[in-house]
Amino acid sequence: GENVEQHPSTLSVQEGDSAVIKCTYSDSASNYFPWYKQELGKRPQLIIDIRSNVGEKKDQRIAVTLNKTAKHFSLHITETQPEDSAVYFCAAGLSGSARQLTFGSGTQLTVLP
């Protein structure tokens, strides 16, 4: 089955700096890679996703890059703000088949004011 590794487990940055979280996956068949943000005590919320037919996707301050050959993908947050503080999970799965996602272990991001 799929195995997703996520690093780092904790990340502290100064407000305004950038944050990068990296994930690797093992199953070359995976072609759907979402990122979820989970604030303390709340539900995970999708913030961005990418499919294997593209290498990069941006949405305002958030971007995700995918390297299919190396089987890794990364989340980039620029101009970080205190409200970006949360746990971020990457995941990998198959698009369009309603199959389950395999989640990474999560990264606790703290943005220091």
- Identify the residue among 19, 21, 23, 34 touching other proteins (CB under 8 A): 34
- Identify the residue among 46, 61, 81, 112 touching other proteins (CB under 8 A): 46
- Identify the residue among 25, 44, 73, 85 touching other proteins (CB under 8 A): 44
Q: Largest alpha-carbon pair distance within the chain?
A: 42
27 vs 78, which CB is nearer to other proteins?
27
Question: Angle CA(40)–CA(41)–CA(47) in degrees, nearest 5?
Answer: 65
Q: With beta carbons less than 8 A apart as the criterion, state whether 18 and 24 touch.
A: no
Report, in Å, the least distance between residue 46 CB and other proteins: 5
Report the alpha-carbon distance of residue 71 to residue 77 in Å, rounded.
20
- Is 12 among the residues that bind other proteins (CB under 8 A)? no
Report the alpha-carbon distance of residue 40 to residue 89 in Å, rounded.
13
Give the residues lining the site for other proteins (CB under 8 A): 32, 34, 36, 42-46, 49, 51, 87, 89, 93, 95-96, 98-106, 108
